[in-house]
Structure 1
Amino acid sequence: MRRASSLLSSLRELRGRCSTKHPVSIISLAFHSDLGDPSPQPCRSYHGLLYKRRTQQLLRNPSRSLDTLVQNDPPLSSRQSKIKEKNDLDEAFESATTMEEMVSAFKAMESVFDENDKRLGLACLKMGQCLDSAGEDHESTLVYAVKALRILEAHDDGDGDTKSAVSLAMALHLMGSVHYGLKRFNESLGYLNRANRILGTLENDSCGFDVRPISHAVQLLLANTKTAMGRREEALDNLRKSLELKELLLEPNSRELGVAYREVAEAYSAVLRFKEALPLGLKALEVHMEQLGQNSVEVAHDRRLLGVVYCGLEEHQKAFEQNELAQKVLKNWGMSLDLLNAEVDAANIQIALGKFEEAINTLRGVVQQTDKDSETRALVFISMAKALSNQEKFADSKRCCEIACGIFEKKESLAPSKVAEAYSEIAMLYETMNEFEIAISLLKRSLALLEKIPQEQHAEASTSGRIGWLLLLTGKVPQAIPYLEGAVERLKESFGPKHFGVGYIYNNLGAAYMELDRPHSAAQMFALAKDIMDVALGPHHADSIEACQNLANAYGAMGSYKLAMEFQQRVIDAWESHGPSASDEVREAERLLFQLQKKAMTESGNCGESLPLPQSGEAISGKCLDLGLSK
């Protein structure tokens, strides 16, 4: 999976086109049936959401005006006057169409209403939602959100009042959104989980009110929050749920639904889950071609994404075909920057196909159209270095790497995530040229940038694991262990303890302990690696067999020959399942088994001694390469 870094570079550029700095507001989702416009909506769109649209008094009594009294009407009592004043203030707040009008009407309400009045709580909610939609003044928004939550919580007594429960869920969503904007992700997650539980109960109870638009917004913000916390695997679940809700809310095959399919496909591609990304990407293309025609910009973006996905699936010819079709559309629309990036993608696909000279010619054409210090120019030189390295023109390749690094150094503060990714990809090129010290140095620079970006925790884990692996490769074993241990913890937080990447790290950490003559610790690591890989990859996968072989070696080094021979026999059986193509591996595994049998006979006193295997998923104190990107 050496090409994963360049794939993700293309994907990041694709995602940058349509990402928003602020999570989509619940309001614009809940009360706009097309769900298609993520921009902040006018405040008047919030009325229905707050359940405050009441029949005008004028409609109840057409002969009476709201602002005047018939001369013959009896005078109002003090209590009636108070009620009328509150109703008038409430109506004035309802009819406000600008933020200035809303603020003025709200201040008037505050001076008259009791501080625990539910209508004041709903007004606070509306104010907070409107400010949150603008996404600028988080502290002011938080003031309204806190007050709304306090009041609406007091009025929700759990007696099955649907309106109260929905209002409380919206207040909790607002609190989650504000804390997300303030980068207080743990607090945001707490409020959103609570909102999700309330909405789930309402859905299960068939409350008679369609809470799906609100549930969609909560799921989407849960996905954003978990992504920001580095919990990518969980975020994908919420993102998938938000898509399922969108499928129910939107018209079938609408343009907006096509965009949603593509965005979820991009999210799967970002974590290298290309099999799940492919059907979603194809669905997006199908929808947009039907709605907009094959020459639309949306179709071009869909095809570029499919190019990335097909590359990830090693179907490079299909990737190249999609890329060529995308380029034709982008050229017709005069989208020069997108077109240049698509041409760089095409060169990377040509490299994957072994067409190095064609790739170099493509890149030479692109570089002439780029600015001296542009990011696109730097990406061109990275791809050029890749093609030259494959031709074993290492001096020229290194020069291209140096130029790219020089450009990206100037952008560290502006785009740390992109620069970190670029350093990682350049480091991979130095690895292929056996320049391990330079590669380690670049990876450390990448890690320093990633450590400041919570949502890049998965990339931080992979980078830390690669540093540990290279240090292990160059004989610096004690230095490698902290990087490997840090990597496994971060990767487990991002993808869970059973992700195949965690298995790779445990495997490498076990190798490090073997180098330090600590076979007991190594056996624990190898056992955990095997447990994960058997599930994630299957027991007959080459990497799973390697973990089993390592475990047999560790038990052999400990003198626990009975267990060592048991696992060595499993290695033989697994390789035999590959048929004639694995005959060399079978012979080697049988040779190692014969050696173990000889040792067991000469040291028969140790044959019965064994170290208990860790149970599946057992926690260990010695926490342990890579998400698989360097494999």
Structure 2
Amino acid sequence: MDLGRTRWSVGSVGVLGRLVRQDMVVDYPSRYLAEAHVQAMQFDEADNLCKKTLEIHRVHSPPASLEEAADRRLMALICEAKGDYEAALEHLVLASMAMIANGQENEVAAIDVSIGNIYSSLSRFDEAVFSYQKALTVFKSSKGDNHPSVASVFVRLADLYYKTGKLRESRSYCENALRIYAKPVPGTTSEEIASGMTEISAIYELFNEPEEALKLLQKAMKLLEDKPGQHSTVAGIEARMGVMYYMVGRYEVSRGSFESAVAKLRASGERKSAFFGVVLNQMGLACVQLFKIDEAAELFEEAREILEQECGPCHQDTLGVYSNLAATYDAMGRIEDAIEILEYVLKLREEKLGTANPDFDDEKKRLAELLKEAGRSRNKKAKSLENLIDPNSKRSNKKETPKKWSAFGFRS
């Protein structure tokens, strides 16, 4: 097998964004449900419920109440998750005004951090820096220079300065945050330290320093691995470590990290989430590098099923798994299966996604090579994939060894 002709792109696995829930006075059933939907990443449902709660506030609550401010922060989180940054900013500004009216200085600073995050997402970097610096001043004054809240703002500034190309400043803020995490003040939780280290590791990954990123992820995992209720978080860290190990060519260790993450996600009831599907795909890529082709095919098949259900067939992650499956089937000698998948993908692009994407030409070329080998032309009426990947298929033979690798590019 010639692995040198394959293209690999790794990096889509990341720890799911941690939803930091501030202390809130919960009075309305809609808020309970909205928070539950946010935790389940069901943002449309959360949006509808949160709007109902805000309407209740408009009719029944006094102006600028703490309860309304809390719900506006939740609504801002939902809007941010849906990519509606301007709406998120509006809700945060209103929440901040309510907190100022109630003398909640530290809560105002926390909202300033969230406002900085929105400005950063909108590439309004000067305004983001101003918001972060405002929060930093308050946290240092009220909590002390070595408080984890200070470190968390340092991390935000490090990320922002990386985005703006100020790498020296970015690294300096990372180091300042790590100094705080190395000698935490009393009352600092392991979860706070682990979360900060995980975020800093992502910046070191951007610096192209995977070994440093790995060290931080290992420390974060040790802090959490014995903590109850942290299985999903640890699984996310292990998945990130799997990506890092893959990047430095330690494929066996990478596979082991993904395997551990998959086991934890299965045990914690997340076996049908989109994140789980992405982790399965990444584990399949590691298996390919180890020539464990049958295992890779099973992982890609399971990932395909999950991502089709959770994201739909046109989502980029789902399309990537289709491509990986086609390449794997080709390597196993299942040429007809590989052809059917590629015909299906090209049909999707032509009818729903457009052909401007560079992947279209790449996939069309791959399909032409397979069709030439099979001695036939393209079938434009591609079959559905519904029954293509059948574990009882007579074409699938677990004892087969890969007969070759085509020029397929495997995708994360």
Fold equivalence (TM over 0.5): yes
Shift of residue 440, structure 1, vs aligned partner:
1.5
In the alignment, what sits opposite 1:284?
53
Q: How far apart in 2 are the matches of 1:442 and 1:283?
A: 42
Shift of residue 271, structure 1, vs aligned partner:
4.1
* SS of residue paired to 1:497: coil
Q: Is the 8 A contact 1:461 1:491 kept in 2?
A: yes
From 117, 132, 154, the equivalent of 1:381 is: 154
Q: How far apart in 1 are the matches of 2:168 and 2:195?
A: 23
Q: How far apart in 2 are the matches of 1:470 and 1:271?
A: 27
**2:256 matched to 1:487?**
no
Say which structure, 1 or 2, has more relative contact order (CA 8 Å, 6+ apart): 2
Q: Is the 8 A contact 1:576 1:582 kept in 2?
A: no
In the alignment, what sits opposite 2:63?
294
In the alignment, what sits opposite 2:4?
none
RMSD of aligned alpha carbons: 2.7
Change (3 A) 1:418 1:266: farther
Shift of residue 265, structure 1, vs aligned partner:
2.3
In the alignment, what sits opposite 1:396?
169
Change (3 A) 1:481 1:264: same
Change (3 A) 1:581 1:404: farther
In the alignment, what sits opposite 1:500?
274
In the alignment, what sits opposite 1:512?
286
In the alignment, what sits opposite 1:614?
391
Q: Which amino acid aligns with 2:201?
A: A
In the alignment, what sits opposite 2:402?
none
In the alignment, what sits opposite 2:246?
472
- 1:101-250 equivalences under 5 Å are none
Shift of residue 563, structure 1, vs aligned partner:
1.5
Q: Is the 8 A contact 2:147 2:184 kept in 1?
A: no
In structure 1, runs of 5+ residues without a counterpart are 19-254, 603-610, 621-630
Q: Is the 8 A contact 2:146 2:184 kept in 1?
A: no
In the alignment, what sits opposite 2:197?
423
Q: Is the 8 A contact 2:235 2:260 kept in 1?
A: yes
Q: How far apart in 1 are the matches of 2:42 and 2:213?
A: 26
Change (3 A) 1:595 1:320: same
* SS of residue paired to 2:354: helix
Q: Which amino acid aligns with 1:534?
A: E
Q: How far apart in 2 are the matches of 1:546 and 1:333?
A: 50
- 1:325-474 equivalences under 5 Å are 325-369=94-138, 370=140, 371-411=144-184, 414-474=188-248
Shift of residue 496, structure 1, vs aligned partner:
3.8
Q: Percent identity?
A: 27
Q: How far apart in 2 are the matches of 1:307 and 1:456?
A: 26
Give the structure-1-normalised TM-score. Answer: 0.55
Shift of residue 526, structure 1, vs aligned partner:
0.9
Change (3 A) 1:538 1:5: closer
Q: Which amino acid aligns with 2:304?
A: K
* SS of residue paired to 2:20: helix
Larger radius of gyration between Structure 1 and Structure 2 = 1
In the alignment, what sits opposite 2:76?
307
Shift of residue 497, structure 1, vs aligned partner:
2.5
Q: Structure 1, residues 93-126: CA drift from partner, whole Å, max 9, x if none? A: xxxxxxxxxxxxxxxxxxxxxxxxxxxxxxxxxx
Change (3 A) 1:359 1:286: same
Q: How far apart in 2 are the matches of 1:457 and 1:296?
A: 36
In the alignment, what sits opposite 2:406?
none
In structure 2, runs of 5+ residues without a counterpart are 1-10, 377-387, 399-411
Shift of residue 579, structure 1, vs aligned partner:
4.0
Q: How far apart in 1 are the matches of 2:37 and 2:220?
A: 23
Q: Which amino acid aligns with 1:405?
A: L
Q: Which amino acid aligns with 2:391?
A: P
Q: Is the 8 A contact 1:264 1:277 kept in 2?
A: yes
How many residue pairs are counted as aligned between the two chains? 368
Q: How far apart in 1 are the matches of 2:239 and 2:158?
A: 24
